[in-house]
């Protein structure tokens, strides 16, 4: 589990695959929600940096957060549990 100080402002890359292929473009969006058992909330466009997709860790209160990804394609919108990180 990645751990970040609450004062940080940092890009956190999130590995997302669709059919075994890494998704590295703007077809992915993320929902970052506080709590280990929390379902996804509103999805926001992914941050893109150096050919990677991810989220910006900034302004979050201490606690455990879960990252959800949604891949938007013409036929489907799979939602993927990408795991947890902690802000201290």
pLDDT in tens, 30-83: 999 999 889 999 999 999 999 999 999 999 999 999 999 999 887 888 899 999
In this structure, the number of other CB atoms found within 10 A of the CB of residue 31 comes to 19
For 52, the domain range is: 2-87
CATH code assigned at 71:
2.60.40
Distances (CA, A) of 74 to 28, 36, 71, 78: 13, 31, 10, 11
Q: Which of 45, 20, 19, 22 is nearest to 32 (CA)?
A: 45
pLDDT score at 45: 95
43: left (phi over 0), alpha (psi -120 to 50) or beta: beta
Count of the separate structural domains present in the chain:
1
Place 20 in a pLDDT band, splitting at 50, 70 and 90. confident
């Amino acid at each position: 589990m990645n751990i970040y100080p609450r004062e940080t402002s940092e890009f956190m890359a999130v590995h997302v695959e669709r059919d075994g292929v890494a998704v590295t473009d703007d077809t992915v969006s993320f929902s970052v929600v506080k709590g280990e058992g929390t379902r996804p909330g509103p999805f926001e466009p992914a941050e893109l940096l150096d050919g990677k997709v991810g989220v910006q860790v900034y302004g979050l209160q201490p606690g455990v957060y879960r990252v959800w990804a949604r891949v938007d394609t013409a036929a489907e919108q799979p939602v993927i549990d990408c795991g947890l990180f902690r802000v201290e």
